Amino acid sequence: MAEKKIKINPNEFALAVISGSKLDNPDDVRASKDALKRYLTAYMLIEEFNELEASQFKFFKKADREMLVKALEGLRLD
């Protein structure tokens, strides 16, 4: 990973997010709005990530990237 840039397909990521989401509102319109909101949020998040990866990470040295990866591996998402 240290030498390759990461680029995530925003559409594929957003579709994966909503396909794994529990959208069980009995109101179809509300459920659709919730799904759309979740899709757009995920899409925009990955767009921002890809921009950051393209611009900021090119200035990091290899050792800096490796240290960042180790720090991220220690994070727990609950």
Whether 39 maps to a domain, the answer reads yes
Whether 31 maps to a domain, the answer reads yes
pLDDT of 75 over the 90 cut? no
Please state, in angstroms and rounded to a whole number, the distance separating the CA atoms of residues 30 and 74.
Answer: 37
Count of domains forming the chain: 1
Locate 52 and state its tokens.
């950051």
Mean pLDDT of the chain: 83
Q: For the segment 15-28, what is each residue's pLDDT rounded down to a tens digit? A: 999 999 888 889 99
Specify the pTM. 0.65
Grouping H, G, I as helix, E, B as strand and the rest as coil, residue 32 is helix
Please state, in angstroms and rounded to a whole number, the distance separating the CA atoms of residues 7 and 3.
Answer: 13
pLDDT of 1 over the 70 cut? no
Q: Residue 56: which domain range?
A: 8-72
1 within 8 A of 69, measured Cβ to Cβ: yes
